[in-house]
């Protein structure tokens, strides 16, 4: 057999038994950016039970957000106003948007006071993500309550989260800018008066945990907020 023919037969034999090249492994899917958490379902059921026992007034000032709202005695702080407290501790801004159908829209409030972003930054969300979450909140409220006012409280500086001071400041700048883009949306700065002359959180405004407000802290918030709640 000619040498060229022999080489061809050998080549065909090798190729016939060769394994196809392995394809590179598929990249894992990106992590899901959860919108909310089922952990708050117990809070939603509690709100529903409270509504059934004592229906809240429509057209009131509704407060929503994390534990700084949940722990606020609104009846004592604002006796001149009809208020509804729908704060649930540990929540993030996205949670208020996710549950708006259940804890905001049914009450048809004339004004919504929002405090969130504190837990968001602690969980690793960036100031820009907090701004985007706030925009989504405003858009959701606008679809259901086109004439309601929204008052956004700045993210507070706290001794327990002093490592976040730079992020808190950056997020508050973005929240103020975003609020200015909308009609009937206001930004209220409670952060600046909570800092001492050295730019650190004033410890006397907080409970022992260094995170939640005491009576003096809530009194400061009332002074900053009340002018924005009058009709």
Locate tokens 């894992």: which residue?
28
pLDDT in tens, 186-216: 999 999 999 999 999 999 999 999 999 999 9
3-class DSSP assignment, residue 16: helix
Whole-angstrom distance, CA of residue 138 vs CA of residue 133: 9
Whole-angstrom distance, CA of residue 100 vs CA of residue 79: 25
Contact (CB, 8 A) for 59 and 82:
yes
pLDDT in tens, 66-125: 999 999 999 999 999 999 999 998 999 999 999 999 999 999 999 999 999 999 999 999
* Domain spans, the chain: 40-228
Task: State which fold the 40-228 domain adopts.
Answer: Rossmann fold (3.40.50)
Whole-angstrom distance, CA of residue 42 vs CA of residue 35: 17
pLDDT computed for residue 40 by the predictor? 87
Whole-angstrom distance, CA of residue 231 vs CA of residue 75: 18
pLDDT > 70 in the chain, percent:
83
Give the pair of three-digit tokens for residue 172: 């508050």
Identify which of 11-20, 51-60, 216-225 has the greatest average pLDDT.
Answer: 216-225
Q: How many CA atoms lie within 13 A of 134 on its CB side?
A: 35
């Amino acid at each position: 057999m000619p040498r060229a023919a022999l080489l061809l037969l050998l080549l065909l034999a090798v190729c016939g038994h060769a394994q196809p090249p392995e394809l590179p492994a598929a990249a894992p899917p990106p992590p899901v950016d959860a919108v909310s958490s089922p952990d708050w379902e117990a809070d939603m059921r509690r709100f529903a039970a409270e509504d059934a026992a004592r229906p809240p007034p429509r057209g009131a000032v509704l407060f929503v957000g994390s534990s700084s709202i949940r722990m606020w005695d609104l009846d004592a702080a604002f006796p001149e106003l009809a208020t509804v407290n729908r704060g649930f501790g540990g929540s993030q801004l996205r949670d208020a948007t996710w549950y708006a159908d259940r804890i905001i829209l049914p009450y048809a409030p004339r004004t919504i006071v929002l405090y969130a972003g504190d837990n968001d930054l602690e969980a690793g969300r960036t100031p820009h993500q907090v701004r985007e979450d706030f925009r989504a909140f405003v858009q959701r409220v606008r679809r259901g309550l086109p004439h309601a006012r929204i008052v956004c409280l700045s993210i507070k500086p706290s001794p327990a989260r002093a490592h976040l001071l730079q992020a808190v400041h950056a997020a508050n700048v973005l929240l103020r800018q975003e609020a200015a883009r909308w009609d009937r949306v206001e930004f209220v700065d409670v952060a600046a008066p909570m800092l001492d002359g050295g730019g650190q959180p004033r410890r006397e405004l907080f409970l022992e945990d260094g995170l939640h407000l005491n009576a003096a802290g809530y009194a400061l918030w009332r002074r900053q907020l009340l002018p924005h709640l009058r009709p």
